[in-house]
Structure 1
Amino acid sequence: MYIGAPFTVKEGLFPIFSHMETQKSFTKRIGGYLHKMIPVTDASGKLLHYVTKPLMVELKPRDIMQIVIGSTILALPVAYTEEAWNLGTELPLLNVGLLSLISLVFVALFVYFNFYRFNIKGNVFNYVKRVVATYLISILVVAILLTVIQRCPWESDYLLALKRVVIVAFPASMSATISDVIK
């Protein structure tokens, strides 16, 4: 190889990787979880071993618990602030709806780029399920918390209660999404 000459991976800067394309990676279930099995070969093409990479495309009970705990992490401090309660009374319903939409878009983008970017083919249903589950679980956690601290007047003003839930669910869904990444 010449200095300054153009080269490709196959030409020898990294000879160990020159034959990696000869064998395809595949998906295998190990311990109940899906893993991507990536073959590693030597220069002659002989299979040396496999590198396993967890594919986090399925929504498991462990993921649901992480979403519950994660949404609680930011729901607790925000739910106890009077500013969040006042926002529920002051913001029009359209703005609260937009806040909910923004939250869903953020969750969808984060989940896509962290779990499904290279594995969306064949996993669209699991992607939608994870996004919807993350948001709905966050809403449920916030609704329970605000009801327990008596800041959701469901009987007298259900619209105010719903607006408060959506406002507090914005940061709660973000922390739920972050905690779902931790494995």
Structure 2
Amino acid sequence: MDWKFNAEDLGQIVIGAFALGVPISFSEEAWQLSESLPLLNLSVLVVLTLVFMGLYAYQSMFGQNIRKRVPVFLARVLGAYLITYLVVCLILFSLNQFPLIDNWVVAVKRALIIAMPASMGAIIVDSFDKE
């Protein structure tokens, strides 16, 4: 099995992130949550996101053969999360809900909150052709 990251993988992650990121990005509840969620809770949310992405990637893409491919596994999960975060930032920017200059803390928090469901979409779509 080839574990190189290519344009097809990038496209799958972007499409999966976009599919779940768009509906959540239109949610005023997500916008408001980004203004009030404490840093500790946000940190827990990011860790939970990475854990669930890792569990899904382990089960669907790596299985029992992970010992020799731990760096690839970690790069896959972290890379998918980073790409998802950037897709969410782009979506929020296009909706004028990413106040990076006026209030960068809210912008970053908003993207992190929405990246949670979007990242699950990204990792699931990325796994479709890995079996």
User: TM-score per shorter chain, which class?
Assistant: over 0.9
Verify the 8 A CA contact 1:57 1:123 in the aligned structure 2: no
C-alpha deviations, 1:34-89, integer Å up to 9, x for none? xxxxxxxxxxxxxxxxxxxxx36332221111000000001000001101101101
Q: Which amino acid aligns with 1:135?
A: Y
1:164 equivalent to 2:110? Answer yes
C-alpha distance in 2 between matches for 1:120 and 1:106: 16
C-alpha distance in 1 between matches for 2:99 and 2:122: 25
Q: 2:12 matched to which residue of 1?
A: 66
Gaps of 5+ in 1: 1-54
1:104 equivalent to 2:47? Answer no
C-alpha distance in 2 between matches for 1:178 and 1:133: 14
Secondary structure (helix, strand or coil) at the match of 2:65 reads coil
TM score, norm. by length of structure 2 = 0.93
Richer in helix (by share):
2
How many residues get paired?
129
Secondary structure (helix, strand or coil) at the match of 1:182 reads coil
TM score, norm. by length of structure 1 = 0.67
Verify the 8 A CA contact 1:56 1:115 in the aligned structure 2: no
Q: 1:139 matched to which residue of 2?
A: 85
**Structural mapping, 1:1-183, within 5 Å:** 55=1, 57-183=3-129
Same amino acid, percent of matched pairs: 38
What RMSD, in angstroms, separates the aligned Cα atoms of the two structures?
1.2
Richer in strand (by share):
1
C-alpha deviations, 1:87-130, integer Å up to 9, x for none? 10121121111111110111011111111122213211111110
The structure, 1 or 2, with the larger RCO (C-alpha pairs under 8 Å, 6+ apart) is: 2
Secondary structure (helix, strand or coil) at the match of 2:64 reads coil
Gaps of 5+ in 2: none
